[in-house]
Structure 1
Amino acid sequence: MRASTDLDALTDFFDRYGVALTAGDVPSLTGCYALPGLVVTDTYSFSFSSLAAVALSFVGAAPDYHERELVAAHALIEDVQPVSALLTEVAVEWEFLDSRGARVPGERYRYLLRSTDTGPVICTVVRTG
């Protein structure tokens, strides 16, 4: 097994992640994460060591997306860098669509992904903009 730098595989992973995110599909979201994991932003950081902790971090996301009428999320992959034999860093800008089909600019993140037998999983998320 090698770190995934295949754009089609990474696009598929982030497509599934975006669908789960806007649908509030917490079980699918938690399946996208490795344990333990880390999230880092300018103002806070948190780590999680259980799927329950990952799930709790997404509890408020779905109502927020519904309130903002965001119905779809698409990851625009900006950069892919292999880090090691099983780790890949992926820079993503999220683009959202609202209920009227209008594009809503999102935020930028860097994801550190680990390749596994079942596909990539997120180890670390860093909000970059």
Structure 2
Amino acid sequence: MRASTDLDTLTDFFDRYGVALTAGDVPALAGCYALPGLVVADTYSFSFSSLAAVALSFVGAAPDYRERELIAAHALIEDVQPISALLAMVAVEWEFLDSGGARVPGERYRYLLRGTETGPAICTVVRTG
């Protein structure tokens, strides 16, 4: 088992994550995370040690996406840095499509991913812009 730096594998992972995000599929989102995990932003940080805690952190996201009429999310992978045998840091810019088909710029994040038997899993998320 190794951390994936393969763009096809990472693209598939973030495609699944983006679909779950815009669909409000909280169990699928939670399944993308390794435990324990951490989210860091300019004004807050939180950690989680259960899939239920991960799920709770996304409960408000689905209504926000529906209100903004965002129907699809696509991760533009900007950089992949191997950290160790099982860890990789992936820089992503998210772009969204609204219900009218217009591109909506998103935010940038760095994801620390751990290679697992089932594929990448998010350990840490850092909002970078």
TM-score category of the 2 structures, normalised to the smaller one: over 0.9
Matches within 5 A, 1:108-127: 108-127=108-127
* Runs (4+) off by over 3 Å: none
What is the CA deviation profile of residues 18-69 of structure 1, one whole-angstrom value per residue up to 9, with x for unaligned ones?
A: 0000000011000000000000000000000011100000000000000000
Q: Report the counterpart of residue 16 of structure 1 in structure 2.
A: 16
Q: Report the counterpart of residue 47 of structure 1 in structure 2.
A: 47
**Which TM-score applies when normalising by structure 2?**
0.99
One-letter amino acid matched to 1:103: R
Matched pairs, number = 129
Unmatched 5+ stretches in structure 1: none
1: CA distance, partners of 2:114 / 2:2: 9
Q: Percent identity?
A: 90
Matches within 5 A, 1:1-129: 1-129=1-129
Measure how far apart 1:87 and its partner are: 0.2
1: CA distance, partners of 2:52 / 2:2: 29
**Which TM-score applies when normalising by structure 1?**
0.99
1: CA distance, partners of 2:110 / 2:33: 14
CA RMSD of aligned residues (A): 0.3
